[in-house]
Amino acid sequence: MRRGLVGLVVVTITYVMNAAWAGENHVGSVVVGNDGFEGIFGAVRNSTNDVELLICVDNGDSVGCVAKDSGGKTKGCVSTNVNHIAIVRGLTDSSKVIVKFDNAGNCTSIVGANSSSFVPKT
């Protein structure tokens, strides 16, 4: 519990230190790595790139997230962790999601962030 709280504080401080000034918009591509991926739903939806993809699905007692970057690299994971389920349920079209996973395809961390600087889908 304490480790999770410390992580939340670090993420919050990072966002505050890089606080958006009026009208600032964060757009960007899906980034897929060997142990995780991240992206902003609205930015991906509005992109002219027809390869990138970012999906999180709520199956009731489990969630799954998948990402594909502009080069076609695709990674995904599933989780039955109640905290991960709650985070996925709180995502919107202007959310940023950061997902970490293990070699077995289990989500080990899902972080959702909402910000006025994240571009919503149009």
Give per-residue pLDDT as tens, 55-77: 999 999 999 999 999 999 999 99
Q: What is the pLDDT of residue 9?
A: 47
In this predicted structure, the answer to whether residue 41 has a pLDDT above a threshold of 70 is: yes
Q: Which residues lie below 8 Å from residue 114, measured CB to CB, with a gap of 6+?
A: 90, 92, 94, 95, 96
Q: What is the pLDDT of residue 115?
A: 77
Q: Which residues lie below 8 Å from residue 52, measured CB to CB, with a gap of 6+?
A: 29, 30, 39, 44, 68, 69, 70
Q: Which residues lie below 8 Å from residue 10, measured CB to CB, with a gap of 6+?
A: none
Which of 70, 122, 77, 119 is closest to 95 using CA atoms? 119
All structural domains of the chain: 25-114 (2.40.50)
Query: Binning pLDDT at 50, 70 and 90, where does residue 29 land?
Result: confident
In this predicted structure, the answer to whether residue 100 has a pLDDT above a threshold of 80 is: yes
What percent of the residues of the chain are helix, what percent strand, and what percent coil, each to the nearest 5? 25, 35, 40
Q: What is the pLDDT of residue 91?
A: 96
Query: Binning pLDDT at 50, 70 and 90, where does residue 94 land?
Result: confident
Measure the CA–CA gap between 121 and 77, rounded to whole angstroms. 24
